[in-house]
Amino acid sequence: LQLFLLSSLWLLAAPPASSIFQRPTGSPAPPHLQYLLEPLHTTVHTQRGATATLPCVLRALPSNYRVKWSKVEPANYRENVIIITNGLYHKNYGPLSPRVRLRHSHRYDASLTITDVALEDEGRYRCQLVNGLEDESVSLTLHLEGVVFPYQPSNGRYKFNYHEAKRACEQQDSRLATYQQLYKAWTEGLDWCNAGWILDGTVHYPIINSREPCGGRLLLPGVRSYGARDKQKDRFDAFCFTSALQGSQVYFIRGHLNFKEAGQACRNHGAAIAKVGQLYSAWKFSQLDRCDGGWLADGSVRYPITTPRQRCGGLPDPGVRSFGFPSKEMRTYGTYCFTGK
């Protein structure tokens, strides 16, 4: 027993190597689960800032086993190990390490609990039982309800390489969208003619209404693709994804403020000037609806419309309208402020 515990501790302490999470073409299907229970639901829905648990329960405890949790990252299609346990001891790995633990509500429970869920936590996870030649696993998806929005900088369209697009989204309280998130946004009405980077390094643009400047009238609606591009040299816009944050609020302060005064007005209320992702989130999830243009943290001026009407831009669909990036000295607009954790 002492030898087994020592060897198990050595296995847990050994740093895991990343591996390609992909079954080779033509390889046999995974064997029928012998020790792991099939989860009742393979998708767990949660909110940013919440605590979420991905279920993984054993029906029996084999000898000399380990359970390994990992996450598939769409940016590189690799499997990154999160936690390994032998039922007695466990070890955490990677950037998720401070926010993950095993639920362990009983001796057969190897479920993974993630606290303070972040945007980058969304995605596909795997719970793998490592038991010699009888390895088996279950896959689960952590899903955040969110909104995708196109983003370009103040100096015009097609200015970002991949890394700049990634950083720009993060600066606006969002992250580069996955293809699944962009596709879902298209099914919900996102129509945008400018191509943008997404998380896996490919470039796309979603079209609802086929038209000449956007691939022509003869092409069917869809998510048009430029495929994988050079992440350093090629330049496009970005498609960002954000989600509601528990306990946060975006509100408008009326006034004729320049950009500097707008930021100070928010700080005077114990808040910060809102970022673009925060305004989109408030529009999508709090139904924020105002005809008033307001400054945002990136120097743009926008306003959210949930009930389209003639005197609020005149467009027939809901959305976040933009006045672009006016001179920061202009005293024409109010400001949108953000409070949250």
For residue 282, the domain's CATH number is 3.10.100.10
In a shared domain, residues 178 and 264: no
Burial of 276 (0-12, 13-18, 19+ CB in 10 A): buried
How many angstroms separate the Cα of 82 from the Cα of each of 32, 41, 46, 91, 97? 25, 21, 19, 9, 7
Burial of 215 (0-12, 13-18, 19+ CB in 10 A): middle
pLDDT at position 78 is 83
Rounded to 5 degrees, what are φ and ψ at 246?
Answer: -55, 135
Has residue 246 got a pLDDT over 90? no
294 falls within a domain? yes
What are the tens digits of pLDDT across the range 227-244? 999 999 999 999 999 998
Domain boundary among 242, 272, 299: 242
28 falls within a domain? no
Token pair of 16 as six digits: 């895991």
What is the pTM assigned to this prediction? 0.84
Has residue 306 got a pLDDT over 90? yes
27 falls within a domain? no
Domain boundary among 242, 257, 288: 242
Quick one: CA dihedral 294, 297, 301, 305, positive or negative?
Answer: negative
Rounded to 5 degrees, what are φ and ψ at 282?
Answer: -65, -40
Helix (H) or strand (E) holding 130: strand 123-130
In a shared domain, residues 173 and 99: no
119 contacts 244 by C-beta, under 8 angstroms = no
Find the domain containing 322 and state its range: 245-339
Q: In a 3-state reduction of DSSP, which class is residue 256? A: strand
Q: In a 3-state reduction of DSSP, which class is residue 285? A: helix
129 falls within a domain? yes
13 falls within a domain? no
- As for how many domains the chain has, the answer is 3
Tell me which of 72-81, 122-131, 182-191, 244-253 is least confident: 72-81
Q: In a 3-state reduction of DSSP, which class is residue 118? A: coil
pLDDT at position 13 is 43
pLDDT at position 220 is 87
29-44: string of b/e by CB count within 10 Å (b at 16+)?
eeeeeebbeebeeeeb
Nearest-angstrom CA–CA distance, 65 and 135: 9
